Structure 1
Amino acid sequence: MAKDDGPSSTAEIAKRLKKSQTYANTYRARLLEDDVIKNAGWGRVDFAIPYLRQYLRKHDAYYMQQE
């Protein structure tokens, strides 16, 4: 989700992870329940925690440099 500039398609997330839609929906439900993400329209989700996208982007770049 952090790669997207706005709401993400759950089908696209499943594709990126090379997982089934059922697998993605299981984790989607867990993240929704824990208020990490929120519904953003039919088949779409977005981060519910302010600035989480920016944090993940920043730290992903940091960890990639360490490899």
Structure 2
Amino acid sequence: MEIKVRGNDIENALKALKRQLQKDGLFREIKQRRFYEKPSVKEKRKRREALRKRLKAQKYKRPFLRRPAASA
């Protein structure tokens, strides 16, 4: 990961860095690793996250509209 500082503007560079870390999910992973998570709990959480991700993707996906066959 690389964040470029332009014109000695460190505040904007820090904002960009935090945004990138948030997008990569680093903060969420650090929070999860604070305590031990049993493998069964971890698996359930991963399944829930995958389901939520699929539903969210499906929500924004355009529905496939079939056109009626052209009559001859």
TM-score normalised by the chain length of structure 1: 0.31
Q: Which has the higher contact order (CA 8 A, sep 6+)?
A: 1
Structure 2 length-normalised TM: 0.29
Which one has a larger percent strand, Structure 1 or Structure 2?
1
